[in-house]
């Protein structure tokens, strides 16, 4: 059997390697139009910033490695121009000699990946404008910085690449301005969590311009859509990627609703003996079962392995994903998995959310706070998603949520998890435990929470609402929720007699715990509708200031 793979990065090489493990007699050939293969794209920003000195650390395997270990022939600088699915032939150009030739296949794997989204901007082809997509682009950016020593740079986009580039360019002493076309930063976070993150960035004196985009690039500045001029002698476009599906379209391979190649759970396309994997395909959500496009290295490796197994008669199948992502910049870590609140509402779930602010470990072990936003379904009590902004231990917690959501866990099960505990690693009740307790109280115990956004909306609309600040007077005097009255927790039982038990009531403290205690007091005294402010005043203040 002759197996041909188009593309030699994560998905293509994974498919070929798995096919070889299953079938030692097959002829396996990979065509790659780039010079570099099997590289870690996620590590490229750290090479640019100098944290990774040697680029070979990100490109540990070359053509010779695959030939020696797997007996796989990889031809770099070879571009596949056309697929003939009826004759099972390929038209290929050698990019070094420009010779065009044909090859045949019995089984074909398309792993053409994704290409950067290129916005319509005058001057986008200037030599100081860069897209970070492959090893060569990373080389070009680092070389430009060394040679030209730019003082000001603009990053367009606030996804993973945008923020990772922010940290690494700032480490070179470059003054950075972030431009985001949306009204919020970070597409993988809900509006409130994005606002919380932005409040942290602003305290670090990071310049952010939202709801705007670049209209023109000049030598020493960019012109924005609203006419504003921003100094810049270097521009990084990090506006996302789109699936590279030209070859597939021309071969009448079905394209899915997301614009990527449609495959089944064995990575088979609608054309016999043609498989696809990696950043060029659409996958599906574990939660909804609906198609999604999630170009991530982890997904590329997984779908590549499944494709290589399936085309050699294996039984591996794809089980969906949760769009899990994580990135760091400076000392901060941001992670997400599953559905956001917005996505869950669009899917028709009866959404319950909470914002839990807890340290990753005790203060005597220098613990730092993380904010966990969790999303659940009131009807089924299933956890639907989580977003975390913190410092250390974020990866541990998000992976716990990934596992829980994958296996359909309910909110009341989180408290019973036997998580590893020792003071250097966590608190006795982990932030995951607390998140489950808050959600379970809201869903099953009649202790609902209300979000900062909802409280702000009710106040702005002039709704009848009584807001109780259960903190000590000094904290209240420093700052408080609009319209709130100060009734410290220690005096609330007596002070509650002056409140209307029939009016919607919101209690809060700094982060939520004392607010919940105040909520319990009022409920036990017969108040009809009492909510605790999710995330307390700390989260309210951060999102309101934004």
Catalytic residues, which ones?
42
Measured CA to CA, the distance from residue 507 to residue 286 in angstroms comes to 36
Distance, in Å, from the CA atom of 433 to the CA atom of 404, rounded to the nearest integer, reads 12
Within its chain, how far is the Cα of 314 from the centroid? 31
User: What is the spatial distance between Cα 493 and Cα 487, in angstroms, rounded to a whole number?
Assistant: 9
- The rounded Cα 7 to chain-centroid distance in angstroms is 24
- Angstrom CA distances, 401 to 341, 370, 373, 417, stand at 15, 15, 11, 11
**Rounded distance between C-alpha atoms, residue 77 and residue 302, angstroms:** 25
Strand 283-284 with 274-276, pairing: unpaired
| CB 324, CB 398: distance < 8 Å | yes
- Residue 332: closest CA among 186, 155, 179: 186
| No. of helices (H) and no. of strands (E), the chain | 16, 30
Rg (Cα) of the chain, in Å, rounded?
A: 27
Q: For residue 320, which of 282, 278, 286, 269 has the smallest C-alpha distance?
A: 286
Cα three-residue angle 111-117-123, rounded to 5 degrees = 135
- Transcribe 248-277 into DSSP letters: HHHTTPPB-TTSSBP--TT-B-SSTTEEE-
- The whole-angstrom separation of Cα 519 and Cα 201 is 33
Q: How far apart (Å, rounded) are the C-alpha atoms in residues 544 and 409?
A: 33
Asked if residue 209 lies in contact with residue 177, where contact means CB atoms within 8 angstroms, the answer is yes
- Sign of the Cα torsion 277, 282, 287, 288 reads negative
- Angle of CA points 486, 492, 494, to nearest 5°: 120
Task: Compute CA distances 426 → 87, 168, 323, 387, 392, whole Å.
Answer: 60, 30, 26, 19, 10
What is the DSSP pairing of strand 114-116 with strand 129-130? unpaired
- Nearest CA-CA partner of 258 in 289, 282, 288, 286: 282
Taking the alpha carbons at both ends of the chain, their separation in whole angstroms is 60
Counting every residue written for the chain, the total comes to: 546
The 3-class secondary structure across 293-318, one letter per residue, is CCCCHHHHHHHHHHHHHHCCCCCCCC
């Amino acid at each position: 059997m002759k197996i041909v793979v188009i593309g030699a990065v994560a998905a293509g090489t994974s498919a070929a390697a798995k096919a070889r493990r299953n079938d030692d007699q097959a002829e396996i050939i990979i065509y790659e139009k780039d010079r570099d293969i099997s590289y870690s794209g996620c590590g490229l920003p750290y090479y640019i910033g100098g944290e990774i000195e040697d680029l070979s650390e990100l490109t540990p395997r070359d053509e010779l490695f695959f030939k020696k270990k797997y007996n796989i022939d990889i031809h770099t600088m070879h571009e596949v121009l056309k697929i003939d699915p009826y004759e099972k032939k390929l038209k290929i150009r050698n990019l070094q000699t420009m010779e065009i030739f044909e090859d045949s296949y019995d089984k074909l794997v398309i792993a053409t990946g994704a290409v950067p989204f290129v916005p319509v901007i005058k001057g986008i082809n200037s030599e100081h404008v860069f897209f970070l997509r492959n090893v060569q682009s990373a080389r070009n950016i680092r070389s430009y910085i060394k040679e030209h020593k730019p003082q000001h740079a603009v990053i367009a986009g606030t996804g993973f690449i945008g923020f990772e580039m922010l940290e690494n360019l700032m480490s070179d002493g470059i003054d950075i301005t972030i431009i985001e076309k949306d009204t919020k930063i970070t597409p993988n976070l809900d509006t409130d969590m994005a606002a919380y993150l932005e409040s942290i960035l602003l305290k670090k004196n990071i310049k952010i311009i939202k709801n705007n985009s670049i209209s023109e690039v000049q030598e020493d500045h960019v012109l924005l859509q609203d006419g504003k001029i921003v100094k810049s002698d270097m521009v990084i476009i990090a506006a996302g990627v789109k699936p590279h599906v030209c070859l597939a379209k021309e071969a009448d391979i079905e394209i899915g609703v997301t614009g990527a190649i449609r495959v089944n759970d064995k990575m088979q396309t609608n054309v016999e003996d043609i498989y696809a994997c990696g950043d060029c395909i659409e996958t599906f959500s574990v939660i909804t079962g609906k198609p999604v496009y999630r170009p991530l290295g982890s997904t590329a490796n997984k779908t590549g392995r499944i494709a290589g197994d399936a085309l050699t008669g294996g039984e591996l199948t794809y089980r969906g994903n949760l769009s899990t992502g994580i990135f760091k910049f400076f000392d901060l870590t941001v992670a997400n998995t599953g559905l956001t609140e917005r996505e869950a509402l669009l899917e028709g779930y009866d959404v319950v959310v909470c914002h839990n602010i807890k340290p990753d470990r005790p203060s005597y072990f220098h613990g730092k706070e993380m904010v966990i936003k969790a999303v659940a379904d009131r009807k089924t009590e299933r956890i639907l998603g989580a977003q975390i902004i913190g410092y250390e231990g974020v990866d541990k917690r998000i992976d716990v949520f990934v596992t829980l959501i994958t296996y359909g866990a309910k909110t009341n099960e989180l408290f019973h998890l036997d998580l590893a505990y020792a003071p250097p690693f966590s608190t006795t009740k982990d932030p995951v435990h607390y998140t489950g307790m808050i959600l379970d109280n809201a869903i099953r115990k009649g202790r609902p929470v209300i979000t900062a956004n909802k409280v702000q909306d009710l106040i702005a609309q002039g709704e009848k609402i009584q807001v109780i600040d259960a903190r000590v007077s000094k904290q209240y005097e420093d700052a408080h929720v609009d319209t709130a009255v100060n009734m410290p927790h220690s005096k609330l039982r007596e002070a509650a007699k002056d409140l209307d038990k029939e009016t919607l009531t919101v209690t809060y403290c700094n982060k939520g715990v004392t607010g919940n205690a105040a909520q319990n007091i009022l409920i036990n005294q017969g108040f009809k509708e009492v909510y605790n402010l999710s995330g307390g005043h700390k989260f309210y203040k951060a999102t309101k200031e934004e």
